[in-house]
Structure formats: structure tokens, C-alpha cells
Amino acid sequence: MVKASKGILISCDPAVKQIILNLNDRKRFIIQDLDLQHILVSPDSVQTIKFEVEKELERNTFQILD
């Protein structure tokens, strides 16, 4: 039986995908884990994911002080 499910395809590099998987532990939004670089998530969660991923990446960047 063919099934079609609506969602949002997130394409990213494996590192970002890991961050997203970790986020999913707090609040479930992943519909299906497709492969290393793709995940299907529920449509209403994209803004939160983008925001959280940005926050996480920002935490891991360091500025040169002068």
C-alpha cells in the first residue's frame, strides 16, 4: 500500500543532523529519519529547529579578540 505523508524535508550536513536528533529528545518532531543528510519533520517545527540549531552552532563559535 502506497502511503504519502506530508512533512518538511530537512537537508543538512551530518553534524547539523546530529544536533537535530538531539533536539528531538526534548520534543518529538521527527516523522522519519531518512538518511545521513535528510530528515522528515512535522511542518510546524521548522522555525524552532532553525532557531535551536543556530543557537547551538553559535555556542560553538569563538571570536578572535583584538
Q: Which residues bind another protein (CB under 8 A)?
A: 1-13, 16, 31-32, 34-35, 38, 40, 43, 46, 49-50, 53, 57, 61, 63-64, 66
Nearer of residues 24 and 31 to another protein, judged by Cβ: 31
Nearer of residues 1 and 26 to another protein, judged by Cβ: 1
Smallest distance from another protein to CB 43, Å: 7
Sign of CA dihedral 14, 41, 46, 10: positive
Q: Which of 42, 46, 61, 58 is nearest to 12 (CA)?
A: 46
41: left (phi over 0), alpha (psi -120 to 50) or beta: beta
Smallest distance from another protein to CB 7, Å: 6
